[in-house]
Amino acid sequence: MPRLALLLPLVLLACSPAAPAASSPPVPMGEPPPAAAPAEERPSARVTAVAGSRDNEANARAKIIFTNPAKRACRVLGYTLVWARNKKRITLQDLTLPPGETRERWIKVNPDDGDIAALTPESGQVELETDCGH
């Protein structure tokens, strides 16, 4: 009997369930988990019109609208007009977009820049380089 008394605690210990693993604190019922902070919107630009040049029939002009939906002013350092395998890079020093506002610029495109006939508001894309103070 003394042997059984010594083995009984070992048998009970071996048969007991393992302790639960440590976990993060429980989320109270009825409350959704905290949402991640939304990313701030960035400025964008688009081609809205293409017209003939005033000074040379061989050239064209593209109207570009810059929009800043952010809550702070952003400087446009430069942009690239891309269309039908063509690119024209523009560096700027004086274009600041106030929060929630738009600005308009016209860019001159000549035959050396690429196929002017292929440039349309639908084919033209604008890649922006901005500084919004982040």
Q: What is the pLDDT of residues 36-46, one digit of tens each?
A: 545 678 999 99
> With 50 as the cut, is the pLDDT of residue 12 above it?
no
What confidence score (pLDDT) does residue 18 get?
57
Decide: 113 and 78 in contact? Cβ < 8 Å. Answer: no
CA distance 12 to 3: 15
Q: What is the band of 80 on the pLDDT scale with cuts at 50, 70, 90?
A: very high
- Written as six digits, the tokens of 101 are 């506002």
C-alpha dihedral over 41, 48, 60, 98, to 10 degrees? -40
- CATH architecture assignment, domain 44-131: Sandwich (2.60)
Average pLDDT for 44-72: 94
Q: Is the pLDDT reported for residue 59 higher than 60?
A: yes
Write the pLDDT tens digit of every residue in 90-117.
998 889 999 999 999 999 999 999 999 9
pLDDT reading at 120 higher than 70: yes
Output the pLDDT for position 5: 53
The ranges assigned to domains in the chain are: 44-131
